[in-house]
Amino acid sequence: MDSIVVKGNGPLKGQIPIAGAKNACLTLMPATLLSEEPLTLTNAPRLSDIKTMSALLESLGAEVSSLQDGKVLALSSHNIDNHVADYEIVRKMRASNLVLGPMLARLGHAIVSLPGGCAIGARPMDLHIAALEAMGAEIELKEGYLHAIARGGLKGAVHELRFASVGATENTVMAATLAKGTTVLKNAAREPEIVDLVHCLRKMGAQIEGEGTSTITIQGVDRLNGATHPVVTDRIELGSYMLAPAIAGGEVELLGGRINLLAAFCEKLDAAGVSVTETEKGLVVARKGDLIHSVDVVTEVYPGFPTDLQAQMMALMCTADGTSVLEEKIFENRFMHAPELIRMGANIDVQGGVATVKGVKRLKGARVMATDLRASVSLILAGLAAEGETVVSRVYHVDRGYEHVVAKFAGMGAQIERVKE
């Protein structure tokens, strides 16, 4: 099993290209199931999760080709001959549930295993099920599989999500594109990845309005055509690498970055003493002074502070001047990285969904274990600010969401390598 070894060696400098968004690409790929015509995605990230989604789509009968060193995905679903999304594939990744809406819409039936992924909370399917049932689907859980059928096809409906769930919004919007009549989805999630999905679906001939707001209106059409679409920049990868010069010092330019993707996060960085400046190519990030100031963080649905940057922000707060409070309001059980940071000398107290972090002058290198995708990067970031050597194990998590992570950190001047143990 591989580990990543990090040695804190001072300020960073360089340029880092930011990949296409994992969470956007994993949503765009199932959209191929809505049409018999080809869908081509450019600026695709090269990640293990993308391979998992490719395998799932291929198991359903879709054709998936990886071109230009994986940066282009050519998908075709002209011959879907299987309507069962098998547990052995679905269990590897939460986003696998996004085949449910498209399959119901186009085929009228689907059997989809309950999904897996990182162990950061239950993330139940009830929001997806309620929305699809409002559109006329009949869904029953049998032996870990959702058996769904839409007799006579899905029908437009007015439905309000109990929680502004990204996945439920994406599943519902895709399903509604081929439903009969108009669907109005209220309390919809507003993330840039959803806006990106709608832009792609619109290129495919869908009639959708209101993306980026809490109410999305979809007028169903008889069929969708093919399209070519670039995947939006990965704002979570962007935010993760923005924290590297904040933690270690120095100045780094993130190519392809935009402040409007992470406005709430950038506001917290500014308050902590980190400057973020837009350039023609992206964002330049640097410390304003010698100290990082403590800031409080509450994770919220977009446009609030992203839950997927909470672990990385905690790493920054570990050596901040003062005490910070981080409150996790999106997922339960998402402070599993805290005990690992404590092994490095951090002063963290976790009570339920609230973590109190008292900054220390310097962290100490240690052997630590990644518990989920984002936690893995938080530990690498902490290693940049630590004395000595930090060894991060179980780094297969990081491969799910960060392409060429060692090369990108090394490109900033970090002393980092991947080793086999």
Same domain, 242 and 159: no
Number of domains in the chain: 2
The mean per-residue pLDDT over the stretch 146-168 comes to 96
pLDDT band at 159 (very low <50, low <70, confident <90, very high): very high
Out of 186, 213, 230, a domain closes at 230
Same domain, 102 and 219: yes
Closest CA to 250 of 295, 284, 282, 294: 284
Residue 312, class by beta-carbon neighbours within 10 Å (0-12 exposed, 13-18 middle, 19+ buried)?
buried
Query: Is the pLDDT at 172 greater than 80, yes or no?
Result: yes
Can you give the pLDDT at residue 421?
A: 77
Q: Is 247 known as a binding-site position?
A: no
Cα separation of 308 and 192, whole Å?
14
Same domain, 127 and 274: no
12: tokens are 């960073």
Q: Is 384 known as a binding-site position?
A: no
What's the chain's average pLDDT?
95
Model pLDDT for residues 364-402, shown as the tens digit of each residue: 999 999 988 888 999 999 999 999 999 999 999 898 889
Distances from the Cα of 19 to the Cαs of 230, 237, 241, 404, in angstroms? 11, 8, 11, 10
Q: Is 125 known as a binding-site position?
A: yes
Same domain, 326 and 214: no
Same domain, 13 and 92: no
Same domain, 176 and 277: no
Same domain, 47 and 105: yes
Edge-to-edge strand ranges of the sheet holding 367-369: 367-369, 389-393, 2-7, 415-420
Same domain, 224 and 237: no
Does 334 or 78 have the greater pLDDT score?
78
Cα separation of 246 and 414, whole Å?
13
pLDDT band at 94 (very low <50, low <70, confident <90, very high): confident
Out of 200, 230, 260, a domain closes at 230
DSSP state of 406: H
**Radius of gyration over every alpha carbon of the chain, rounded to an integer in angstroms:** 21
Can you give the pLDDT at residue 119?
A: 42
Same domain, 298 and 195: no
Q: List, in sequence order, the alpha helices (H) in 108-231.
A: 126-134, 166-176, 192-203
Same domain, 92 and 123: yes
Query: Is the pLDDT at 117 greater than 70, yes or no?
Result: no
Same domain, 246 and 319: yes
Edge-to-edge strand ranges of the sheet holding 323-327: 297-298, 323-327, 354-358, 347-351
The active-site residue, picked from 25, 118, 200, 318, is 118
Out of 177, 203, 230, a domain closes at 230
Distance of CA 257 to the CA centre of its chain: 16
Q: Specify the CATH number for the domain of residue 122.
A: 3.65.10.10
Domain assignment of residue 393, given as a range: 2-19+233-420
118 is catalytic: yes
Closest CA to 95 of 198, 165, 37: 165
Same domain, 141 and 207: yes
Query: Is the pLDDT at 169 greater than 90, yes or no?
Result: yes
Q: Is 258 known as a binding-site position?
A: no
Residue 361, class by beta-carbon neighbours within 10 Å (0-12 exposed, 13-18 middle, 19+ buried)?
exposed
Cα separation of 333 and 258, whole Å?
30
Model pLDDT for residues 54-81, shown as the tens digit of each residue: 999 999 999 999 999 999 999 999 999 9
Query: Is the pLDDT at 116 greater than 70, yes or no?
Result: no
Q: Is 142 known as a binding-site position?
A: no
Edge-to-edge strand ranges of the sheet holding 84-85: 84-85, 109-113, 145-149, 138-142
DSSP readout, 29-72?
Answer: GGGGGG-SS-EEEES----HHHHHHHHHHHHTT-EEEEETTTTE
58-62, 85-89, 265-269: least confident range = 85-89
